[in-house]
Amino acid sequence: MREVPDLISRLPDQYFTALLGRVAAAALAGGEPLVDLGRGNPEVGPPEHVVRALTECAGRDDVHGYAPFSGLPALKEAIAIRYGEVYGVHLDPSREVAVLPGTKTGLMEFAMCAVESGGTIVLPDPGYPDYFSAVALAGAKDVPFDGFDVAADAMYLNFPSNPTAATAPDGLFAEAVQWAERSEAWVLHDFAYGDLVFDGRRPQSFLAVEGARRVGIELFSMSKTYGMAGWRLGFALGNAELVRRIELLQDHVFAGIFRPVQEAGIAALTGPQDSVAERRTTYERRRNRALASLERIEAQSEGTFFVWFRLPDEITVESLLVEHRVALAPGEGFGARGAGWARLSLAVSDEILDRGLERLRAAFA
């Protein structure tokens, strides 16, 4: 029998695939229609002018061949200008920006480009489960974040956090930079929910901190800010050496991104930005509703489109799914420290959210 290469066998179980499977099985089991608050898929797509840019570009004859492998220079410029305007970060688009087919890919590439196999990577706990996949692909070991007194080769940070919906504590980015300089290690900041912050907070880029681009990169995703999750477009920004390595790796494993997707990305980044503010306001309004409804529960959300809350004693995500027909993401799926907690998604219609909150109230009564 042909052996499975170690690279494949060491990949962890895909947490989200398993979660979707359990929810689908519960839905098939019959009973009241399920209310699914377990997923993190933006429920509203990009604004009209972005879709128009895609279709207009796709109607041209000259866009169907290979696009430049490292991305359109105008797209790199567009994200660099947005970084200047929104986050006060000035980037050199030719050296400090790599175009990615979604930032999930960048999460994997960073580990492979920054860490030798056998190295150690610090991960948030609880944190986004795909970070474990990155560690496995790089043949590295992971340790949960427990402060900056740690010997490691790289660290993943993620604020606002999926799943805890917390924004970056004051001074944490600066500490991360100092740690990386001291340890000669690299930092990746996953900024997937960067623009979705509540209560008048301003989005905080890791790269706005002094020295950050000497030690790491930030991943900016078009998925949540512009509702373009299915389009697969994102960026790695900051350290020029890491950007170079990521582009080199992509030269070997990808052949660029369909030009109409890139042109639409330019339209999204440079066009009217009211949809970004609207999204933020919508999620903040739903967050307020969820927190009011879970009033006696320990719950938090400073950003993202999630609420993170402690499950009352005797209640599990499984019992909520089976007995109350409401799906949540179980905290332990995000790491050992997530046990006893759950993540609720606000990326659903008001009606579905209200129905789910009603069921949770009944379950917790």
Ligand X SMILES: Cc1ncc(COP(=O)(O)O)c(C=O)c1O
Closer Cβ to ligand X, 39 or 361, answer by number = 39
Q: Does 162 bind ligand X (CB under 6 A)?
A: yes
Q: Minimum Å distance from CB 211 to ligand X? A: 24
Buried residues in 95-107 as b, exposed as e (16+ CB within 10 A): ebbbbbbbbbbbb
Q: Minimum Å distance from CB 319 to ligand X? A: 26
Strand order, beta sheet including 216-221: 97-100, 234-238, 216-221, 186-190, 154-158, 120-123, 141-144
| Cβ proximity of 238 and 217 under 8 Å | yes
Q: Does 223 bind ligand X (CB under 6 A)?
A: yes
Q: Minimum Å distance from CB 124 to ligand X? A: 9
Choosing from 37, 53, 142, 158, the residue that interacts with ligand X (CB under 6 A) is 158
Phi-psi region for residue 42, left (φ > 0), alpha (ψ -120 to 50) or beta? beta
Contact string (CB under 6 A) for ligand X, positions 74-113, x = contact: ----------------------------xxx---------
Q: Does 345 bind ligand X (CB under 6 A)?
A: no
Tokens of 300: 């938090």
Q: Does 164 bind ligand X (CB under 6 A)?
A: no
Query: For the chain, what is the largest distance between any 2 Cα atoms, rounded to a whole number of angstroms?
Result: 62
- Separation CA 323–CA 363 (nearest Å): 9
- Separation CA 129–CA 16 (nearest Å): 8
Choosing from 192, 268, 357, 360, the residue that interacts with ligand X (CB under 6 A) is 192
Q: Does 331 bind ligand X (CB under 6 A)?
A: no
Which residues between 18 and 57 bind ligand X (CB under 6 A)? 40
Which residues between 258 and 317 bind ligand X (CB under 6 A)? none
Strand partners, 36: 327
Closer Cβ to ligand X, 177 or 229, answer by number = 229
Closer Cβ to ligand X, 158 or 275, answer by number = 158
Q: Does 189 bind ligand X (CB under 6 A)?
A: no
User: How distant, in Å, are the alpha carbons of 185, 238, 334, 341 from that of 172?
Assistant: 16, 18, 21, 24
Do the strands 120-123 and 141-144 form a parallel or antiparallel pair, or are they unpaired? parallel
- # residues contacting ligand X (CB under 6 A): 13
Binding site for ligand X (CB under 6 A): 40, 102-104, 128, 158, 162, 190, 192, 221, 223, 229, 234
